[in-house]
Structure 1
């Protein structure tokens, strides 16, 4: 099906044409000049995670076999993890590609951080962690992360160890590990911009928290950590609670393990946090749930894409009740929990990512930190080659074209067309629009003033390559990026191909909110 424009016709034919066109998409007329401001996001809106276990080395989510690799034998139990040595953050290609996303936040945390011992000396990494810990991070490894953040224009975000090894005889959290970590960060020339206390307290039992850990224990811990943080690093933003798994089920119909309640945690802790943080994965990888995982055929549906704003709405309501007026940050997210689905690195996931960025910006979420930069299937970069994946290119265009002032483009007339708008980056009074056509078979069409157009497509939805205006996007072996140029379009109708994402920049929009 394709879009056709309706015109006035003799009444004898009108009924026939209306009936014939009911399945066709209506045209949308956009008025960039008059789009009102609805939100303001952080310049580091698009950011990324480097998991703590990547810094230390260890067993992280094993990538799925690719098309040219043999699958596991039937009935074989496949280990979902794979050992990786510590990530080499000094590589030129990695630094170039990460720098292109500046300014950003670089979050070093994750489930493994909850039980990682900071080895505060210059000796080689301990072969066995101290009692009460499961991993070891050396000064040299953390210094490498600090240097990388400086080199790529990223501000550091993290969390601290909370496992049994940090507890005294009464089970109370102690500051010794956190103090050594923060002190060395400053000594090494770093600054922690923001921190959570622990990673994902709603799943505390799975994140190395002490046995019997509950909402009251969490409240006691986060109060103690606030006292420590405001004395040790008063400029660091205290984020929390860092919850996940509530509001919208990650797998419909699957019983979830026992969880702590964010509402009960906030009731017990009081308003201790400077900003509200949460995590979201809109599904779980087959690594963790087998055949109950989401089928890729359901990705391009409004119901799936709405899981992101619906989850945010759940947590925003708690924020409004217990932390009114505080910012909300999304500090960890990706295609699917447990390392991503087999198609996480494919073009099809850019629709989820683009819709997440658009819908959450409109809801005033300050930053979206993607997990990960370069590890497992949901990484922005292939961990072996460091070649950019489709989500990386989407992030790059968002960074270059979308400013921090969020606009309301008006309602879209069809559930398969999603439209978002921001003030154009570095172009006073200019407007940038991004339009997602999630219909796999039919075009949409919009009208707008003269603009530059950037259309993202792929040879197939499960392709790991992506095209910009019909030309493949590819970085050089050293990480050098290709020229990213739009195509000039005249004022009027612009067709949106099936299964495509298109950015439009209207430099001369004259929007007063963008001056």
Structure 2
């Protein structure tokens, strides 16, 4: 979708904007935010996050830029899920889903004995110990997160004929219950369309996969009827990375109906992943990804064709099933160097708003605290700009999605939701991609939080003139925001969140779905 189209300034919308701009200041609030109609809804846990299974077990993940060594991977010890600051950051994003999965989960063996083996059994690459999984369950319970995962599919889970067996998954599920945990939703495998990454038997076909998926779905619904079934977990990419990936002869790939058809068990959520491209670690630089393009409409808008493809596939194989984006970030392979900076917050907030408008029910950011695309620094859990954007999204953008007010300029992108816990209140997320300040009528008094940085690739931001912080003791500061009345002035290259508690929007009154 082009920026000019995205602004929604159609003939009727343009007339509405003209009426708003010509009305007295006090009338702008009631005529503008009050009349925004509802267009859909999202899950109360809409904005969620991933913790890679590899972070729980320890292992080799994407090496951060600037870290010594030529290998694109770097060993990490198991993540300290009991860290006070990490838990405080996660709790601030509640309610959420925490997805323990990723490529490495496809070959992780659960050790159901008190003492784990030094090496994984044949057919697996890593070991998840009882202690590690207890820690993951405790983290979720303590931070208001519901667990989402995928199950191993590597050779160790298969019989002599290469058919997937449920015994490994059953042992893991049984222990989860004994440890006080619950798996809220599950996928069969992580990114099964990238078949090679699921460690399939030689000669594995689409028919073989559909057989195994059907077996998994039947088992899951019998063994854990309260767990939502997510499928197909399709990995989608932006261009030109998508085309280049399909030309990669070393990676066997399946297309849509090879994974899921209307005849197979119907999932509760139609799941997919989306990355705009590949990071510099995986050749992204030669495909044109750059800091200079981080705010370009061409980069931001490429989500649209990916969503269109996923909707079309969903409508063919599971019509009416809600869309779940269970893994997404700036680029695959750990993110680009600027994924941890203010530059990526424009994409992040725009993707959240655009996804909610398009009917995506759940959106899971990858990751909470690993590599360059993490919301937090991975060693001391200092928040990055995207964490603060996520936190203010949680505080201002509730479950009811509204038709946004018309934008006065193509470079100003506006998203609107009902406020959480505020009857009649409206929340806005406003992105100014241009260099000039832009104003937006908001009527009566409202609270706003404006993100700015001295440089696009800076990790240091201010929010309405203050520096936000999360102390090691877990205390958040610097989010006081400021009061505005009549209109919101959004500086060039900035992001604003706004809470209009007195908007009096009828679509936002008395909605139980607004409660978090």
Please show how residues 269-418 of structure 1 align to structure 2 within 5 Å.
Answer: 270-289=264-283, 291-293=285-287, 294-418=289-413
What is the CA distance between 1:255 and its match in structure 2? 5.4
Q: Is the 8 A contact 2:84 2:472 kept in 1?
A: no
Deviates more, 1:27-36 or 1:112-121: 27-36
User: 1:47-99 deviations in whole A, cap 9, x for unaligned?
Assistant: 0100000011110111101xxx7x87xxxxx2000001111101111111110
Q: Is the 8 A contact 1:248 1:310 kept in 2?
A: no
1:80 corresponds in structure 2 to 72
Distance 1:389 1:269, change over 3 A: farther
2:52 corresponds in structure 1 to 51
1:428 corresponds in structure 2 to 423
Please say if 1:512 is aligned against 2:493: no
1:105 corresponds in structure 2 to 97
Distance 2:75 2:365 in 1: 22
Q: Decide which structure has greater helix share.
A: 2
Distance 1:332 1:474 in 2: 26
What is the CA distance between 1:204 and its match in structure 2? 1.3
Distance 2:134 2:162 in 1: 31
Distance 1:383 1:466 in 2: 19
Q: Is the 8 A contact 2:85 2:470 kept in 1?
A: no
What is the CA distance between 1:107 and its match in structure 2? 0.2
Distance 2:193 2:199 in 1: 12
Please say if 1:236 is aligned against 2:231: no
Please say if 1:267 is aligned against 2:258: no
Distance 2:268 2:188 in 1: 12
Q: Is the 8 A contact 1:215 1:268 kept in 2?
A: no
Q: Is the 8 A contact 2:262 2:316 kept in 1?
A: no
CA RMSD of aligned residues (A): 1.9
Distance 1:158 1:284 in 2: 23
Distance 1:248 1:178 in 2: 36
Q: Is the 8 A contact 1:432 1:503 kept in 2?
A: yes
Distance 1:416 1:474 in 2: 29
Distance 1:87 1:55 in 2: 6
Distance 1:278 1:199 in 2: 10
Please say if 1:60 is aligned against 2:61: yes
2:454 corresponds in structure 1 to 459
Distance 1:82 1:511, change over 3 A: same
Please say if 1:486 is aligned against 2:478: no
Using the size of structure 1 for normalisation, the TM-score is 0.89
Distance 1:290 1:425 in 2: 38
2:201 corresponds in structure 1 to 210
What is the CA distance between 1:280 and its match in structure 2? 0.5
Distance 1:126 1:142, change over 3 A: same
Distance 1:196 1:497 in 2: 42
Distance 1:404 1:316 in 2: 21
Distance 2:463 2:170 in 1: 48
Any unmatched runs of 5+ in structure 1? 1-25, 73-77
Any unmatched runs of 5+ in structure 2? 1-17, 22-27, 510-516
Please say if 1:166 is aligned against 2:161: no
Distance 1:434 1:197, change over 3 A: same
Distance 2:185 2:89 in 1: 23
What is the CA distance between 1:314 and its match in structure 2? 1.2
Q: Is the 8 A contact 2:368 2:376 kept in 1?
A: yes
Distance 1:502 1:246 in 2: 28
2:438 corresponds in structure 1 to 444
Q: Is the 8 A contact 1:435 1:501 kept in 2?
A: yes
User: 1:209-229 deviations in whole A, cap 9, x for unaligned?
Assistant: 223323211111110001110
Using the size of structure 2 for normalisation, the TM-score is 0.89
What is the CA distance between 1:303 and its match in structure 2? 1.3
Distance 1:221 1:50, change over 3 A: same
What is the CA distance between 1:271 and its match in structure 2? 4.4
Q: Is the 8 A contact 1:27 1:444 kept in 2?
A: no
1:14 corresponds in structure 2 to none
Deviates more, 1:288-297 or 1:240-249: 240-249
What is the CA distance between 1:250 and its match in structure 2? 3.2
Please say if 1:192 is aligned against 2:183: yes
2:112 corresponds in structure 1 to 120
What is the CA distance between 1:392 and its match in structure 2? 0.3
Q: Is the 8 A contact 2:411 2:432 kept in 1?
A: yes
Q: Is the 8 A contact 2:277 2:284 kept in 1?
A: no
Distance 2:254 2:243 in 1: 19
2:40 corresponds in structure 1 to 39
User: 1:345-371 deviations in whole A, cap 9, x for unaligned?
Assistant: 000100111001101111121111111
Q: Is the 8 A contact 2:56 2:79 kept in 1?
A: yes
What is the CA distance between 1:290 and its match in structure 2? 5.3
Partner residue of 1:92 out of 84, 92, 98: 84
Partner residue of 1:182 out of 157, 167, 173: 173
Count of aligned pairs between the two proteins? 478
Distance 2:247 2:103 in 1: 17
2:10 corresponds in structure 1 to none
Q: Is the 8 A contact 2:33 2:426 kept in 1?
A: yes
Q: Is the 8 A contact 2:275 2:330 kept in 1?
A: yes
Q: Is the 8 A contact 2:37 2:402 kept in 1?
A: yes
